[in-house]
Structures are given as structure tokens and as C-alpha cells.
Amino acid sequence: IASPYSLNIFVRVSLQSNPGFLERLSETAGGTVVGIGLFFLSFYVLFTNEGRALQTAYSLNEGLSQVVLLGPFSSLDLQNNNHLVHLSSQLHTSQPLHDPNYRVAVQAVKLKRQVEMYQWVEYRESKDYQEDGETKTETTYNYNTEWKSEMVNSRNFDKEIGHQNPSAMAVESVTVVAPEVGVGPFSLSKGLVEQINNFQTLSLRDFSTFNLAPFLSVDDDYFYHTHNPRRPEVGDVRVRFSFAGLSGETSPLGRAQTVSAANDQLPY
């Protein structure tokens, strides 16, 4: 049974049979067995984790006692080869990262382009109640329009008519990473570069819209693929940029980020 309250809210009522005595007994017995098994398993997990924690603490203390501290302007020293060293210095990259489609360029380790589309989203809420000796489930479907970074498949909606989303985005999200990242005289390994994830939103407050594509507009640090960003329609796209690991000698975005690294990922 479906009854529309408004254009974007629908209610559906379904019937479900009440479980019999044997079915309820089977569910209770099964739950008891599972509970007992989890109780004994928790003791095993507890003792195992304590042993691993002690081993980790011992290894860390041993490593700290052997670490060699390097200054921010230290040069390569072969005597430190195969030793545990620690360095703290500013990041540097060879060239800016850029997105030519939006004329964005940042001297950083990573540049992220996050794309969102204005789409229909379905929300459902269910509640059970008893009526005439039967259990009934009332499900309310509510449809709203929102900016979403992932595609919402409207074919899975209870009411797709009037709430259809596009099948794909015109632009894809992507993260560009600098090919070479250095700190002091060292080059960071891929593992250390992957840990640089303190993304900051790129401000478009002073961004020049000169020579920008005619279908683009800028509002509140977003590029909008529409001329009316305050009144979007389903299918409209907006793009925001963020960066991580600011580098370079001079940048209007601030000073280069200082990072710390250990020698197992700093090649001598």
C-alpha cells in the first residue's frame, strides 16, 4: 500500500507474518550459542593484544635509544648508512601541480580535485506496529536534493519517477602527486609521501576569473558548472580544490610545510 503525502514524501505499508513458537525457539538457541562463543573468543583476543602491545613498546624504546638526530641542513653522511636517523625539515618539490581546465596551480606535494553533483537522495524510515493480530511495517520515503561526491543511482529508488539522476559526472575527482618530493638533502619514499594528507581547501577569494571557461562560475571556493550557483538544478556540478604538503621557497599560500622522517625511508 503506497500513499503520497507530498511530491517528495511517500509511505508504504507492508505485512509480515509473525514467527511461530519453534522459529522463536530456534533463534533464541542460536543467539545463546553465538554469545558463548564470543565470550571465550574475547579472552583470546585480549591476551593476544596485550602481548603485541608489550613487544611494540620494547621495540620503540630500543629504537629511540639508537636514533641519530640530523639538523635541517645536514648533508649526506655515509657513516649514518644502515643507522636509525631522524630529520625534520621543510618540503620541496621541483615544480607546481596544476589543473589546466580550471587554471589552478599550487606548489605542493598533492593537489586534490573533488567533484560533487547536485542529485536526488532517498531517505527511508521504517517502523513496525501491530494491527488486527498482524505485524505491519510502515516505510516513509523522503526525497531531497543534495550535493554528493559519489553517484546516487536513482534506479534503486522506491519512486524513481520525478527523482531521476544522471548516470555519470561530467568531471571526475582526482588527486595529483608530485613525482619527486624532497626534505633537506633526501628524497622521500613513496610510503612517506602517502602519509602527507593534511589537505587544506584552496581559497578562491582572490582567484581571477579572466579567461575562465564561459560555462564556469566561482562562488565560495567552488567552481560551478552553472551560471546560477545559488539555485542549482539536478545534474549541476561543482569542483573544489585542496592541497597537502605545501612546498617551495615562496608561496602566497604560506610557508613550506615542515615534516619529520626516519631513515628506513630516507635513502642514503
pLDDT of residue 125: 92
Domain locations in the chain as residue ranges: 86-118+149-265
Greatest Cα pair distance in the chain: 86
Distance CA(29)–CA(35), nearest Å, equals 10
pLDDT of residue 111: 97
- Which residues are registered as beta bridge partners of 6? 9
Distance CA(221)–CA(206), nearest Å, equals 10
Distance CA(4)–CA(230), nearest Å, equals 29
The whole model's pTM is what? Answer: 0.70
Q: Residue-wise pLDDT tens for the chain (268 aa)?
A: 444 445 678 777 777 665 655 566 566 766 677 778 787 777 777 777 777 777 777 666 665 666 766 655 566 666 666 667 777 778 889 899 999 999 999 999 999 999 999 999 999 999 988 887 788 888 999 999 999 999 999 999 999 999 999 999 999 999 999 999 988 777 888 988 999 999 999 999 888 777 788 889 999 999 999 989 999 999 999 999 999 999 866 666 666 666 665 554 444 4
Helices (H), ranges, 1-86? 21-64
Q: Is 242 helix (H, G, I), strand (E, B) or coil?
A: strand
Distance CA(241)–CA(223), nearest Å, equals 9
pLDDT of residue 60: 61
Cell 562560475 found at: 217
Sign of the CA dihedral 22, 23, 25, 29?
A: positive
